[in-house]
Amino acid sequence: MDKEDTADYFSGMDTEVMYKNLHETIKVNPGLTLKKLGEKLKMEEQVVERLLWCINEYPCSFHDYGPYVRKKNRWYLQQTYTTILSLERENQELKEKLKDLEKN
């Protein structure tokens, strides 16, 4: 979807509500694919992708939204994804400590 198609698509719509719904959906359901996001938001995948791109490309215009991170075709809030990575590392360290304790 290019700029002109986007402008036509959003004409007459409350885009603030669209961005807010997108943000809340990703916040509450981290790790959804574009297809699942589109289904939840009742939008085409290309529209969801364009909204995500706009927020990430122009962060100064979207103070309360994003940034979003795509990992393995799944979308996360950057802060949520960072938390997930930290928890995965901590989990791995604890598993290793548990193995060491079981050996002794």
Model pLDDT for residues 38-81, shown as the tens digit of each residue: 999 998 898 899 889 989 998 888 888 889 999 989 999 888 87
CA dihedral 63, 64, 69, 73 (to 10 degrees): -130
Integer Cα distance of 41 and 48 in angstroms: 8
For 26, the token pair is 């990703």
Per-residue CA distances from 94 to 88, 90, 97 (Å): 10, 6, 5
Structural domains of the chain, ranges and CATH numbers in brackets: 3-77 (1.10.10.10)
pLDDT of residue 2: 60
pLDDT of residue 6: 65
Q: pTM for the whole thing?
A: 0.71
* Chain centroid to CA 103: 41
